Structure 1
Amino acid sequence: MQTSNNFYDDEIRLKDVILKLQALKGELFSRWKLIFITSLLFAVLGVLYAIKKQVIYKAELNFVVEDNSGGGGALGKYSGLASQFGFDLGLGTSTTFSEGNIHELLTSRRVVEEALLSKVNINGNDELLINYHIEFNDYRDEWSETMPEIKDLIFTTDRNRFSLAKDSILALAWKNLTNENLQIELGEESSIITVICQSKDEQFAKLLVEALVSEVSDYYTHTQTAKARHTLDFIQNRADSVLTELKLAELSYARHKDSNFGVMRAEGLLDELRLKREVEILNVMYGEIIKNLEISKVTLLNQKPLINVIDSPRFPLEVVRLSKLKGLLLFALLGVTIASIYVVINSLIRDVLEES
């Protein structure tokens, strides 16, 4: 019996909901003039917004990352031989720079700030990208009113002499650019990475993506070849040291031969054999070191071309803007939504007041 009553109560509640919805529907239709006028006003605002909205330029740069640090190929055959003499040619494979790491690296504070501090050619003049960023955004006009002490601030390449104000401005520029202007896309089925910059200044958008990729390429190459460069420097120093010892040994051997010419003493012959053996040993050592030195140079060259640019931005850049039609439709829809919500809320409040 109680189950039947519950079902009856639920049926009444459902009926009330349906009646309420029908009443709201009728209210919306009865207030169609208000909704229409509101949507019309918003549509006009949408067109005006599309006309007044600032033009945004979009720069895209595509590149792939190649890892040439594998130990295979012709160089791999010599790595074992070199290791017998205490040399590591740096042929190991590194997974430090995966696509995900490249993504984080491109938006890291270090890379973005170094890119902003790079010199670029703008309208025939060389200047730092950060100074140009400050100028076209009219930040100096804002600073003259709020912080006049830094309105004439100019960045230089000497990072060691930066003041707290310069460091703060660089940090703020990094945050704004990574949050609002920069976008990194990774290919789903390929290893292509796309760097996108959207800015109101066409030159800045193009120059920033190029500076970012250049900075990452330099950092990437420097990091990947660090072991090979260390090995090359070590082998070069060792080669110079052995060559010096070899020249001294050859000089001692020649002097001994000159001073003992025609002398048949056994002690003199033993000294001559010892000096000759020392020269021969140093010659063999020097020859092997030079061989490893050349292999190490080839290894370093083989590891350098790591980032290959596929497509770089060219003028004129793609323009990103809201069309008049799109602005009209979006704002008209927004107007209809706002007016409808107003009518519904007003109707509900009126019903509540009437019931009470």
Structure 2
Amino acid sequence: MNSVHSEVEEISITDLVLKLKEWWRFLLYNWIYIAIAGVIGGGIGLIYANSQKPGYIAELNFALEDAQSQGGLGGYAGLASMVGVDLGGSGGGAFSGENLIEFMKSRAMIEKTLLSTIEGNSKSQTLANLYIDINQYRKSWEDDPKLKEVQFLPLSDRTKFTRSQDSILGKFYKDLIKNNLTIVKKDKKIGIISVIVNSGSETFSKAFAQTLVKKVSEFYIETKTKKSVDNLAILQYQTDSVRRALNSAFSGVASAVDLNPNPNLSRQVLRVPQQVRQVDIQANQAILTQLVTNLEIAKVSLRKETPLIQIIDNPILPLEVTRFGKLKGIILGGFIAGFIAVCILVMRKIFR
């Protein structure tokens, strides 16, 4: 039985080798068709490579500053809390690590960036209008009256946008996230984040990367320091109020003395207004001293929380250029066309 099985296996392998040789001879016989297909495919690949516009890559690196720790403010914060003052310094978990990257990719931040104004060619325009120009969208909008006249003007009110404008911004957002924008952490062990923009315009790539980080930084700082800013405003208002009351008390003492410069010692009632003003002065002085201390602590706390984003590397002109190489187009096009020709020849032989 084993010898019979070996003979069958040997015959099967021999048949397979013979079959492969037969197919190889068949392809060699029809090499001219494969070569013609390869030349045509290479030509198509060359045309495709020439038609592709170069891409300009802008890379911006920044580090996120950890503002969660109070550092040397611990003692001050405890002192302030004793008198009911909250110095802020809320945690930034919502903006840490991967959360910050996803936040930077959010539609709100992308739209704010697109609607930002840049200066160039002696005129101001939004990044949204520049994106329309570099992608030549207006040619495809010529037959649509709703889109033909759409403009995103500088300092325009986002709340008054039309349905068409909202739709266009939504499309731009999806295109940018899919084709133009990459945001990654350079290393999981370090907090440096890279923003990479690849577009057909050197101006757009650089401006979009810088503006996106700027908008995120502004929103981030505003959110992180909102509580501290509110507390600072309250402390400043209270300090100013007490200072005005103290000045008024000093004026009251002076007025009382002027009205009765030589008081009759036998009539104590005449000294009451002056004594009341003295009590007000002492009380307001104590309150003002405490408020000024808390106000300075709040200012230090606010300074420690900002800035939160530190730029490490800005994109510098000229930017790195990427192109679909001609040689790559010829080789890739020729290979694909030759492979298709082989498949067609094989299928024709099988069906015959």
TM over 0.5: yes
Please give the alpha-carbon distance, in whole angstroms, between the structure 2 residues aligned to 1:160 and 1:186.
Answer: 34
| Pairing of 1:26-175 with structure 2 (within 5 A) | 26-73=25-72, 75-145=73-143, 147-156=144-153, 157=155, 158-175=157-174
Q: Distance in 2 between matches of 1:183 and 1:64?
A: 16
Q: CA separation in 1, counterparts of 2:234 and 2:255?
A: 32
- 1:171 positional shift: 1.9
TM-score (norm 1): 0.85
Shift of the alpha carbon at 1:4? 12
- Contact conserved, 1:59 with 1:206, CA < 8 A, in 2? yes
CA-CA distance at 1:36 after TM superposition: 2.7
Q: Does 1:340 align with 2:349?
A: no
Name the TM-score, length of structure 2 as normaliser: 0.86
Residues 1-356 of structure 1 aligned to structure 2 (within 5 Å): 23-73=22-72, 75-145=73-143, 147-156=144-153, 157=155, 158-188=157-187, 189-259=189-259, 261=261, 262-264=263-265, 265-267=267-269, 272-350=274-352
Structure 1 stretch 232-241 or stretch 158-167: which is displaced more? Answer: 158-167
| 1:44 counterpart letter in structure 2 | G
Q: Deviations over 1:171-212 (max 9, x none)?
A: 222222222211112212432211111211221111111111
Q: Distance in 2 between matches of 1:83 and 1:345?
A: 83
Match of 1:126, SS?
A: strand
Shift of 1:308: 1.6
Distance 2:11 2:224 in 1: 74
Q: Which amino acid aligns with 2:40?
A: L
Name the SS for the 1:225 alignment partner.
helix
SS in 1 for 2:118: strand
Asked whether the equivalents of residues 59 and 317 of structure 1 are also in contact (C-alpha less than 8 Å), the reply is: yes
The aligned counterpart of 1:354 is: none
Between the two proteins, the alignment pairs up a number of residues equal to: 347
Partner amino acid, structure 2, of 1:175? K
Shift of 1:240: 2.2
Q: 1:153 to 1:46 in 2, by over 3 A?
A: closer
Secondary structure in structure 1 of the residue aligned to 2:142? helix
**126-135 or 193-202, larger mean C-alpha shift:** 126-135
Letter matched to residue 245 of structure 2: E
Amino acid aligned to 1:289: L
* Worse-superposed segment, 147-156 or 46-55: 147-156
Contact 1:65 1:306 in 2 (8 A): yes
- The 3-state SS of whatever aligns with 2:184 is strand
| Structure 1: gaps spanning 5 or more residues | 351-356
- How far off its partner does 1:111 sit? 0.8
Letter in 2 for 1:154: Q
Structure 1 Cα separation of the partners of residues 330 and 142 of structure 2: 39
Counterpart-to-counterpart distance in 2, 1:223 and 1:331: 52
Matches of 2:141 and 2:43, distance apart in 1: 36
Distance 2:51 2:140 in 1: 22
Summarize the Cα distance change of 1:6–1:248 in structure 2 as closer, same or farther, 3 Å threshold: farther
The residue identity in structure 2 corresponding to 1:135 is D
Instruction: Give the SS at the match of 2:286.
Output: helix
Residue 287 of structure 1 deviates from its aligned partner by 1.3
Given that 1:79 and 1:89 are in contact with CA atoms closer than 8 Å, whether structure 2 keeps it comes out as: yes
- CA–CA distance in 2 between the matches of 1:275 and 1:185? 65
Output the CA distance in 2 between the equivalents of 1:249 and 1:152.
Answer: 66
User: What is the percent sequence identity of the aligned residues?
Assistant: 35
1:49/1:140 CA distance change after superposition, 3 Å: closer
CA contact (8 A) 1:70 1:92 kept: no
- Displacement of 1:333 in angstroms is 2.1
Contact 1:128 1:155 in 2 (8 A): yes
Three-state SS of the structure 1 residue aligned to 2:93 is coil
Distance change (3 Å), C-alpha of 1:219 and 1:13 = farther
Distance 2:256 2:278 in 1: 10
- How many Å separate the matches in 2 of 1:120 and 1:343? 57
Answer yes or no: is the 8 Å Cα contact 1:71–1:93 preserved in 2. Answer: no
